[in-house]
Structure formats: structure tokens, C-alpha cells
Amino acid sequence: MLKQKRELTLKKEFPDAIKNQLGIEYLKNTLNIEENKIFQILSYCEYRDIFTKYYNNKVLEVIEILNEESKTNNDLKN
């Protein structure tokens, strides 16, 4: 039960942790993710195990996933 509660807390904190570590400017300017879409993109990336990778200190893999998914998302908009 305690493990599940801890995991839920980490999942809630995940978007803010990403924004704090990478910076909103990086997400907006480099990855072209609109600030109001950051949470949506992070949620969408869950199927690629982004949450687990982040908390296992695989930040480069997280950045690669975000880069790929933001390009896909931006391509769909155009």
C-alpha cells in the first residue's frame, strides 16, 4: 500500500519535476511544446514508460521521447 501511495505521489509530481529540471523555456523553444500542452504531452508519453525512465535517471531517454513526440504532435497540427 505504501509503495502504491509513493508511486501515485511521484506521478502527480512528475510534470512539475520535468518542467523544473528541463525548464519551461527548453520545452517551449527547443521542443516546440506549448506551455499549456506540456501536461498533455507528458501524459501521452506514458505509453513509452517516460515516468519510469525519468525516475531511473534516464533523463536523456526522456528528452529523446519528448523530442520525438513533440515533432509528431507538431506535424499533426500542420
pLDDT of residue 47: 93
| Spans in the chain with pLDDT lower than 50 | none
What does pTM read for this prediction? 0.83
End-to-end Cα distance, the chain: 45
Among 49, 50, 18, smallest CA distance to 33 is for: 18
So what's the pLDDT on residue 76? 63
Q: How far is CA 39 from CA 1, 33, 34, 66, 67, in A?
A: 26, 10, 10, 12, 15
Residue 1 pLDDT: 79
